[in-house]
Amino acid sequence: MADITLDELNRSDASSFVTRLANVYEHAPWAAERAFAARPFATVAALHAAMHAAVRAASDGERSALIKAHPDLAGKAARAGALTAESTSEQLTAGLDRLSEEEFDAFHRLNTAYREKFDIPFIVSVRRHTKDSIIASFERRLMHDAAAERATALAEIDRIAALRLESLVAGDGSLRLDGRLSTHVLDTHLGRPATGVAIELRELSRRNAPRTIARAVTNADGRTDAPLIAGRPVPIGSYELIFAVGDYFKSRGVTLSDPPFLDLVPLRFGIAEAEGNYHVPLVMTPWSFSTYRGS
């Protein structure tokens, strides 16, 4: 999925090096220019550190310009298709391209209030968030003071840069930006992993209907063949896993009441650390179930 290897970057001349990395920091090719001297980079993390150091060493004015170069979230530029490719793809991930009118109004109101108070755009690493958690952090951050928000904006810019680098450059040295969401279904009626259980993962929202983001069926070990989410941050937010427990036990020949005591079993939970490891198992019989944050 990455566009270029670290090796190729290490062998590039300055011009193509900078072209490739021009938007790792939004509209700030100078971060790449200044990091170029530190070649070769042993790891992607080292490359990120060099660009990060360049930003930290830049003048206040350059950093202010960097902050202000960011577009509004779900703002006019996004509607008009005038974002960098990187921003467009990020805003898509978080679903900012499919806002209800009510949500669009909320974003508009929050963008305006934020710019009025701080004179900078609201910056957040949207790949780490759901729409709900973006709005929640928007509201929380509006209460801060200007110095704190400037620091937060720079920290978020750095997270964005790290994620952009990781998807752009293939190479050793993970930046440890991945989270993980997985499940496991154990049948303690029959004493074995539950095979063939249909599972649906849904993102919940205070303002919208649930959105299905993954479907899977458990394998011979009671797990899904791949984690439900892996290789990227798990967006901070509220989720529901729904397990077709009634159908599973029927398929195993277990006699159930009508309707069964347990049929579709939802487990609702929140993700707070986008880089965390969330294992959410279901241990069940036709008459009981339990879950816990596992590992």
Q: Which residues bind a copy of itself (CB under 8 A)?
A: 133, 136, 184, 186, 188-193, 221-222, 236-238, 257-266, 268-273, 283, 285-295
Residue 105 or 292: the one with the smaller Cβ distance to a copy of itself is 292
- The secondary structure element, H or E, covering residue 62 is helix 60-68
Residue 73 or 284: the one with the smaller Cβ distance to a copy of itself is 284
Closest approach, Cβ 99 to a copy of itself, in A, equals 21
DSSP 8-class letter at 18: H
Closest approach, Cβ 183 to a copy of itself, in A, equals 13
**What does the alpha-carbon distance between residue 16 and residue 9 come to, in Å, rounded to a whole number?**
8
Closest approach, Cβ 204 to a copy of itself, in A, equals 9
Closest approach, Cβ 131 to a copy of itself, in A, equals 13
Closest approach, Cβ 87 to a copy of itself, in A, equals 26
**What does the alpha-carbon distance between residue 159 and residue 153 come to, in Å, rounded to a whole number?**
10
Residue 89 or 238: the one with the smaller Cβ distance to a copy of itself is 238
Residue 150 or 184: the one with the smaller Cβ distance to a copy of itself is 184
* Backbone angles phi and psi of 176, in degrees to 5: 55, 50
Residue 30 or 249: the one with the smaller Cβ distance to a copy of itself is 249
Retrieve residue 257's tokens: 């009441």
* Backbone angles phi and psi of 55, in degrees to 5: -65, -40
Residue 12 or 238: the one with the smaller Cβ distance to a copy of itself is 238
Maximum Cα–Cα distance across the chain: 72
Retrieve residue 31's tokens: 């971060």
Retrieve residue 249's tokens: 């036990």
Retrieve residue 290's tokens: 């339990």
Closest approach, Cβ 188 to a copy of itself, in A, equals 4
Partners of 129 in the β-ladder: 236
CA distances to 30, 114, 156 from 59, rounded to whole Å, are: 12, 24, 18
